Structure 1
Amino acid sequence: ITGDPNHWFDASVFVLQPQGTFGNTPRNFLRGPAFANADLSLVKNQALFGATRLQLRLEVFNVFNRANFSAPNRPVFAGATQNEAPLATAGQVLRTANSSRQVQLGVKVLF
């Protein structure tokens, strides 16, 4: 992790291995950004007549409007050339993994 907001990891520490050999980087050694989400629902039940009820709902998704970023761009090299420089886009976080805050109102008739 680099501390650079534009790159999640430093691509310059990777070297393309010669064909037919294994590198020394283990599987799953990098972790992406954490994901946290909170939803809120307010419900009011109102009796109408008999067993019939009216339900008013207010639902808020991603109530704190927290941006959850997707996994960083993983391709470090474009091809298989031994002395190739890392791609400039390696390690960049390019998009979010969730949507912004959404609010919806609902009415249900339960009978």
Structure 2
Amino acid sequence: MNKVTELLDAVAQVITNVRNLADSLQVVADVLTDMKSVEVTGSQPAAQIAEKAAKPKREKAKFYTLEDVRGVLAEKSQNGLTSEVKGLIAKFGGSKLSDIDPSNYEAIIKEAEVLGNE
């Protein structure tokens, strides 16, 4: 593996880690906001307080970038699935990754994740 590829892989991993950290910080902020909005009074049972604090969080859609897709597909290709990766790119209408419409990034990642698991 050449140095540029190693550097790109490292940068892609850093980007992924930063996004995961941002998602975790958002969860913490949501919990703190919920805790602040729960008013504790002497007449309110503990079960009701816990129920308010544990309300389900809205699931926000993940936005994938070209770098996200490139990282997933590069890993699959390095694991000996190069022809499958090329087929996946072709399936989504491209001869190279940059030809793929960004609206298809989530779908291509989901399909790529199952490559090699079959």
TM-score (norm 2): 0.31
TM-score (norm 1): 0.33
Query: Quick check: which one's strand share is greater?
Result: 1
Q: Which has the higher contact order (CA 8 A, sep 6+)?
A: 1
Work out which of the two has the higher radius of gyration on C-alpha atoms and give 1 or 2.
1
Query: Quick check: which one's helix share is greater?
Result: 2
